[in-house]
Structure 1
Amino acid sequence: MGMMIRFISGPIIMSAASIAIGLRGVKLRAAIVQAALPQGIVPFVFAREYGLHPDILSTGVIFGMLVSLPVTLLYYVFLGL
């Protein structure tokens, strides 16, 4: 559930912030698509370093990357990049 909220709220917040500072066109659309990307491997590295259940987090990172591909493609197509 949290991942879906991130995939929706991230691009919405990025859209508002980008428009507020004057981004338009391809730069605006690229910023929105980038906001839909998963967090990546950094949280796993910190979890492993501090012994905070890296096995569980690694599953979340992999799942997030798998889910993000179709979501990112949808944003890409929807925004016409």
Structure 2
Amino acid sequence: MTARQRLSEAIQRAASRAVQQESSGWLIATVTATYTDGTVDISTARGPVSRVRRLKSYTPAVNDRVQVDYNPDGNWIVIGALASS
């Protein structure tokens, strides 16, 4: 592999990481703790996230599998629990 090819691949990897970090998205997470202020702690494939707001219509329980949405500003929200199988 030439130096030019290595540089090209490094630029592509960096651009891909930047796009992922600057985009909104959603993940599946597991509730690890619940609080009375309307927040929960979750564990995601990206790592743990503390004190995430939840929708009023959803009452979480530890170990619930949930859908979470996030945006580039670092805001997270728990949408609700997934059906158990």
Query: TM-score when scaled to structure 1?
Result: 0.26
Structure whose residues are more often helix by fraction = 1
Larger radius of gyration: 2
1 or 2 for the larger relative contact order (CA 8 Å, sep ≥6)?
Answer: 1
Query: TM-score when scaled to structure 2?
Result: 0.25
Structure whose residues are more often strand by fraction = 2
